[in-house]
Amino acid sequence: MNIAKLQALLERRPNGDRLMSAREIQSEAGVGETFFYATLVTDPGWPAAVRLGRCVRWWRSEVLAFFETKRNRRTRTGDDEQ
């Protein structure tokens, strides 16, 4: 199976989830490339990447869950009040 067909199969999950590129995540999260790769991708809780040849993507639902977990943790510890 070639990469284009595999990507088309993985592009959407039955539940409507989709793969996002690093650029899409950076844009939605409002972070730059350096912060994305140096801080987010290296975080132990960051979702596993889906590799498609040279392309790397992440499931949107997993990325949103990561940010929700971070926000909840920050709210519980009071870090957002600084």
Instruction: Give 39-61 pLDDT, tens digit per residue.
Output: 999 999 999 999 988 999 999 99
In 3D space, the residue among 23, 9, 82 whose CA is nearest the CA of residue 58 turns out to be 23
Rounded alpha-carbon distances, angstroms, from residue 46 to 2, 14, 30, 43, 58 = 28, 23, 17, 5, 10
* Domains of the chain, residue spans: 3-81
Its pTM stands at 0.74
Q: Is the pLDDT of residue 75 over 80?
A: no
H or E element, residue 25: helix 22-29
H or E element, residue 17: none
Determine which of 14-18, 33-37, 42-46 has the lowest per-residue pLDDT on average: 14-18
Instruction: Give 65-74 pLDDT, tens digit per residue.
Output: 999 998 888 7
User: Mean pLDDT over all residues of the chain?
Assistant: 85
pLDDT computed for residue 10 by the predictor: 62
